[in-house]
Structure 1
């Protein structure tokens, strides 16, 4: 073969490889072992003293909707997330002047596992349905917040007779290990028969200061047969290298809803980035959605996610301001209740696809 033919063949092969690479890109799949088969992950802001109690009644609109005699199951994943305790201390840097210590970390788990609330309330909703012989095809999954051991914190507390100081990585790792072990121990004793624990969520929305720490934590979590989740904000440090950091599943925040000056093109840009980096996507809104301008911004998410294939292909997380789904479901205005039904219909449809994948896997 002549030199020109060889060059032409190599160029052609390069073009083909670029084409195949571009078309091989995909989101974090709608139903994937990476995310422990969580398709729709609800962010339940719970723990801080300023949060809802999250009783069974409050969680019900997230679990299912009733359409006549038909029950549509909704979210199959529940992230109990918190970044501050509501008493002046934070679980991730930047939210308060003081940082949570061992006592506040333990208190967060107390809140997560409180009888009649949060995780137990979720289990109670599902138990009530099960007594009526109404059960989801798949068990609902729970993800717990892992607080950030904030670098250089000196007053976290004692562990095994030693005061931990977060100016060194080993102390930061040991604090996280203690928390994970405590959470797993509590789960094993809680008697939760309708839900399963999938793993832990890194509450810091950027990877700053965790280049070597996060992979160590990830390895420990996986040693416990758990998954490690992350939802970075737009352009956060490390958001494109989440796999290298050790996370099992990551979702991209577009951060479009909150600022009317951000153009709608952000949705496309965030979706393209997520697909390039095999991430899921986060749908975002808060109760400003009662205002027509912000309702339109939510509709832009839905339209953009449909256009970009997110609704059909990708795992999704849902930020709704801390209690938006709850408020929309029982809103005094019919327009807002209809918005809840629109979101519920999207989630129910995605759950039907996830159930179909589950049936295929069991064959």
Structure 2
């Protein structure tokens, strides 16, 4: 990345432990560690694989790890005290957009493929379908709930939603414990390879170019070690930029296949990491695009709070936008991006969802009031 170098004081901490879950979109962390991209910015990175998102939360809060590849909604759940013990959290940057999906069992997916509506297919089971997501306040729960509601299926009344760590999803579908799941890759590709299910929708069809994983830390970490936090953001921006090249995606797919990272064959990782597996319905997973991916818009965080209110997970009388502004470290990100010569996108951005609703963060209360399907 060619950029003018603006210098900051040396990082207060030089060795950082970063948590991740076995998912293809942990690629920026893998790139940063394997290519030692932190050296340029005065830091070294140690990757710490976690078995679940709950483990990421717990190790972040205990200080066992310094920062993590985390679900956007995990950060907000902890901040609000509805996804675990309340703690002030920070979103340093967005690591990727798109790249998630919903897979249903073969019989259900085949019924939909042959003309049944999602509602009809699920109703044909004669019982509430069991569909897994990865964390109660996480992105996958919110994508799943939004999509089901748009199909006329109430996600809290018509479906049994359970939490399973991403690497367990395909196994649970094979075992018949699930009727479907919403998670990241490569677990949808694994489920299809094992003939247990089919991807019925991609999350980019629900919210095109939606924010997904973020670089997260406790807010006291960012406050105590601001130079370290900026160095970490710059390192991850370098990693995300490296991932823009399709040849590099193939290279990191090989690295991700190792047992220390995902432990999944490259041929199941690479297609959906490089080009959405050839499915025209899906937008490709995005890591950088000149920095358009990475800015932690306050409105993105605010959207998650609207969904928690929609589904009865949050009823506290708080200033939602102020909470989002305190979590998303826009000033710190701007410092790091501008030092690297990376453009910062506009604060407001309108997105049109699968149900035709438009979100730009300008009227959260009005947006929330417009949902007919809610808790």
Please, what TM-score do these two structures have when normalized by structure 1?
Answer: 0.26
Relative contact order, CA 8 A, sep 6+: which one is greater? 2
Higher gyration radius (CA): 1
Query: Which TM-score applies when normalising by structure 2?
Result: 0.26
